[in-house]
Amino acid sequence: MRQRITDPSKMCRKHLLGEHVELHMMASCINKSINLYGFINKGLINPAKIKERHALIVAEMISRGYRHNSELLEFDDSYNGYIDLDENKKLLERCEECRKMHQIDRSKDERLF
């Protein structure tokens, strides 16, 4: 599981929908008291930003004509983590479609939040 911090409009379909599923998984895990500290400590997820990120992902899905029928569960989002920017860029570089859509500029910090 991981959250991206890049602009959803520059993500390929696979990664956009994949992150949407993972955001729902994160909320569910938090509700079930499943320990996510490994993901949080490695800079992969930030519970305080899940709701905001979900809203951005959903807006992009709708703009592409995809349907969204799954509301995000309520969960405790009081823990503030961080997202590792360098790891995010590595993921984008591995996906040819995302790379083309994003046109990565390695000198630019492209944090969305």
* Whole-number pLDDT of residue 106: 46
* Whole-number pLDDT of residue 108: 52
* Residue in 1, 78, 74, 82 with CA at minimum distance from that of residue 31: 74
d(CA 67, CA 83): 27
pLDDT of 6 strictly over 90: no
Domain coordinates in residue numbering, the chain: 8-102
pLDDT in tens, 47-102: 999 999 999 999 999 999 999 999 999 999 988 888 888 877 777 778 888 878 77
pLDDT of 22 strictly over 70: yes
* Residue in 80, 77, 83, 91 with CA at minimum distance from that of residue 11: 91
pTM listed for this prediction: 0.84
